[in-house]
Structure 1
Amino acid sequence: MSTTPSRITVFSLAMLYPALAHAHVGVGETSGFTHGFAHPISGLDHVLAMILVGVFAFQLGGRALWLVPAAFVGMMAAGGALGAAGINVPFVELGIALSVIVLGAAVAFEIKAPAAIAVALVGLFAVFHGHAHGAEMPESAGGLAYAGGFMAATALLHVAGIGIGFGIGKISQRVGPGIVRIIGGLAALAGVGILTGTL
């Protein structure tokens, strides 16, 4: 178990390295990486979902600790390619809002889903998030650098979520599971606010 968090860190750094290398090739590449990196962290819906993926993965433990975030990043890249190519994916905004609601509820109730189901669930949501990133790619941005940017930011948010999950677990050992219910519930409520346009 102690080696698994380090695998997540290595995985994240491995994804960051080529993206950072591309970011210094030229102005277009630098711009692409910067825009791509900024996109996931510029919206509450993306930030919440990606942190919740990390918390959810931590709660599941075992292989899911790295499989779930890796599945999200991989499928998000696929969704980004669809968006950049102008291929329509229906209900993108609905899917993004539902990802926050469902993942918030999963965290609140500490759902112990099998790894395969968790991977499929976050993979589906990742397509919607990725499509939004790809569809909003600036015309001046280099596509690979832009993708590297949003993948790197997403991986870092997942790592942050795993850290938050660890912290929540430690606190709940002292004060009881109520803290997990509150945090997950607030995230799910935020998802409802995003869905209804009040957030």
Structure 2
Amino acid sequence: MNKRNQLRLLALAGAMAPLSAMAHTGHEVAGFVQGILHPLSGADHLLVMLAVGLMAVGKTHDMSSRTRIAVPAAFLLAMVAGTLLAMTGLSVPFVEQGIVVSVIAAGVLLALAVRFSLVAGIAVASGFALFHGLAHGAELPLAVHPLAYIAGFLITTSVLLVAGTRLGQLADSYSMGMVSRIAGVAVAAFGVLAAV
């Protein structure tokens, strides 16, 4: 791998070093800027979204560009659905625990290089996203501008999903399949530490 690609991987790893472990810890949810920053404020969001992007590249039986778009798009849609459900007053117990489980599961799936059909990949990504969306929606009554906040976190979520997909494509192009496995181990280890 040339130095430029090594620097890209290093920059991505640096971006994964968050200020706090979980992003749902009483932060400000006032508007657009806070929505943009929210997914970057906790490793739970960063790791799951990057993991879903990685899974979309190399962990499905269908290696088409359709998969690279469909799996992250399903994540976004399910996250919005979870947000809207929570905003309607639906109370789901153990949302934070569901988020931790999504981190661990995403890591294990990557580490084991589990291959999915397109439908299964969409279902797994959607399941992860639902918990993240429910957590977002539960916070929104505190927001001054809820729609602006939602727009902000959707933009950053999209960027993180694309970053994961691009990292997977980069690893694929250099025949570095171990990158996803190593990332999976790191993601799962973080999830286990967060659970304790």
TM-score band w.r.t. shorter chain: 0.7 to 0.9
Give the match's secondary structure for 2:31: helix
Query: Deviations along 1:47-94, whole A, 9 cap, x unmatched?
Result: 100110101001133222111100110010111112233321122112
Q: How far apart are the structure 1 equivalents of 2:177 and 2:72?
A: 24
Cα offset, 1:108, TM superposition:
1.8
Match of residue 133 from structure 2:
130
1:66 paired with 2:72, answer no
Cα offset, 1:177, TM superposition:
4.0
Cα offset, 1:180, TM superposition:
3.2
Query: Deviations along 1:89-134, whole A, 9 cap, x unmatched?
Result: 1221121111111111222222210111111111111110011112
Q: How far apart are the structure 2 equivalents of 1:107 and 1:57?
A: 11
Match of residue 37 from structure 1:
36
- What amino acid does structure 1 have at the position aligned with 2:156? A
> Where do residues 56-135 of structure 1 align in structure 2 (5 Å cutoff)?
56-59=55-58, 60=60, 61-62=63-64, 63-135=66-138
Residue segments in structure 1 that go unaligned for 5+ positions in a row: 1-30
Q: How far apart are the structure 1 equivalents of 2:88 and 2:31?
A: 16
1:195 paired with 2:195, answer yes
Does the 8 Å contact 2:109/2:184 carry over to 1? yes
**TM-score, reference length from structure 1:** 0.75
- What amino acid does structure 1 have at the position aligned with 2:194? I
- What amino acid does structure 2 have at the position aligned with 1:37? I
Tell me which stretches of 4 or more aligned residues in structure 1 moved more than 3 Å: 176-180
Match of residue 53 from structure 1:
52
Aligned CA distance change for structure 1 residues 70 and 178 (closer, same or farther; 3 Å): closer
- What amino acid does structure 2 have at the position aligned with 1:89? V
Match of residue 183 from structure 2:
183
Give the match's secondary structure for 1:137: helix
* Greater percentage in helix: 1
Q: How far apart are the structure 1 equivalents of 2:139 and 2:90?
A: 13
Does the 8 Å contact 1:40/1:133 carry over to 2? no
- Give the root-mean-square deviation of aligned CA atoms: 1.7
Cα offset, 1:40, TM superposition:
1.3
- Share of identical aligned residues, percent? 40
Q: How far apart are the structure 2 equivalents of 1:178 and 1:122?
A: 21
**TM-score, reference length from structure 2:** 0.76
Aligned CA distance change for structure 1 residues 76 and 116 (closer, same or farther; 3 Å): same
Query: Deviations along 1:121-166, whole A, 9 cap, x unmatched?
Result: 1111111001111212363422222111111111110001011112
Number of residue pairs aligned between Structure 1 and Structure 2: 163
Q: How far apart are the structure 2 equivalents of 1:97 and 1:155?
A: 20
